[in-house]
Amino acid sequence: MDLGNRGGFPESFLAMCGRGGRCAAAICSRRRSWWCLGLVCVFVFSVSWTAVAGPSDWGAVATPLRMVNLHPFHLLYGVPASFGAHVLTPGASELTASLDLASYLSGGTTGVGQLSAAPNAEWVLIDGETYRQALTLRMGFRERWEVLFEVSAVAHRAGAFDAFIETWHDTFGLNQGGRKRAPRNRLALFYADSDGVHVDVDQDVAAFGDISVGAGYALPQSPLGNDGLAIRSAVKLPTGDASLLTGSGGFSAAVWAETSGALPGSTASRVWLYAATAGVLAGEAPRGLSELGGRWIAFGRFGMTWRPLTRLTLTAQFDAHSSPYHASKLPSLADAGVMIGFGGTLRLTDRTTLEVAVTEDDGLHWSAPDIGLHIALRWRP
């Protein structure tokens, strides 16, 4: 993401965004956030112990990578991850502990020189790393129905992996996107327009994210003639801190469909599988970006899975969603969020699986992180 190729920033703007101290008074106690999340973890584990394990279809049915777009402004809307075309049986449960982290550098401006009152002028700089920890509990409560609860914590930090990412890009011949011209190990989440500064986070922050609750229903018979079709929904509650970009300060609701099956020629062996998701989200614009953010987001995913071993699956997944920031002229906000993920799932025990994936943007759109890492541990008691 080469800032210069996109109209870039004047040097005065880059220097201004590197300053510190504007959000220092708003920073919460990181230690308190992690203690609170730990207490929630204990609660969720105690609930899951009461559930009875249902039959497992692990490996024979494709499970999508639960990738999340950690672009700091798009994350606020809460586009949900996918869970697969099957729901849990009555009394069964699944607990997932996940960690997602991503590094990004993008920006642009329609203004010239210093911040001014020029009509329709915009400035954005997005540089740093975002970490998201989540605990997700799914529980089957009646035939073909399940419920979902998810709590999360979000942290935005200076780019500790900048040097590694530059080496990664050089090794594989990937575009550095202006990284070698930008300061290393910097956090700068900044948006301003002709009305003034709306977002300015330049010191490490961590806090609770938004909570999600939802439900899923598996149709008795898939009209597609494959493994199944599940209809899911979720509501995101404004429990995060909008001033620190760990929550939107508003509600959102999503409805989506998930399906999966065997690829042609693999119906019997089920060595090659696929999983697909399509949905729509309606949400309130994040606080501070209410004049910029829209209400609707369309999202979808498609993944192909290979089963080389009984306990191992490898997946390549395409993940995209539309941008709610249509009012902006800056690609870092207005572009669709597009990610490509490569990962695998290892069945550690009959009840526990480990999922690891690496994500990259597609190189054509500017609303997804340069590179990301996804780790999830799933347990069915």
Q: What is the DSSP string of 150-189?
A: EEEEEEEE--TTHHHHHHHHHHTT---TTGGGSPSS--EE
Are the C-beta atoms of residues 93 and 138 closer than 8 Å to each other?
Answer: yes
Q: Cα torsion for 341, 300, 103, 95, to the nearest 10°?
A: -80
Give the helix, strand, coil percentages of the chain, each rounded to 5.
15, 45, 45
- Terminal C-alpha separation, the chain: 44
The label of the residue with tokens 């004049």 reads 291
The backbone torsions φ and ψ at residue 7, rounded to the nearest 5 degrees and listed phi first, read: 95, -10
pLDDT of residue 50: 33
Q: Report the pLDDT value the prediction gives residue 133, as an integer from 0 to 100.
A: 97
* Number of Cβ within a 10 Å radius of residue 144: 17
Buried (b) or exposed (e) across 358-369, using 16+ Cβ within 10 A? Answer: ebbbeeebbbbb
Go through the chain and tell me how many residues it has: 381
* pTM listed for this prediction: 0.83
Task: Note the pLDDT of residue 117.
Answer: 56
Instruction: Give the pLDDT of residue 181.
Output: 63
Q: What CATH number is given to the structural domain containing 284?
A: 2.40.160.40
Q: pLDDT tens string for the chain (381 positions)?
A: 333 333 344 454 544 444 333 333 333 333 343 334 443 443 433 333 333 333 345 667 898 999 999 999 999 999 999 999 999 999 999 999 999 999 988 888 886 655 555 677 899 999 999 999 999 999 999 999 999 999 999 999 997 776 676 676 667 666 655 666 667 788 999 999 888 899 999 999 999 999 999 999 999 988 887 899 999 999 999 999 999 999 999 999 999 999 999 999 988 889 999 999 999 999 999 988 888 899 999 999 999 999 999 899 999 999 999 999 989 999 999 999 999 999 999 999 999 999 999 999 988 888 999 889 999 999 998
Q: Which residues does 380 contact at the CB level (< 8 Å), separation at least 6?
A: 53, 54, 56, 92, 93, 94, 95, 351, 352
How many independent structural domains does the chain possess? 1
SS3 of residue 70 by DSSP: coil
Q: H or E stretch including 34? A: helix 30-48
The range of the structural domain enclosing residue 42 comes to 4-379
Buried b (16+ CB within 10 A) or exposed e, 223-252: eeebbbbbebbbbbebebbbbbbbbbbbeb
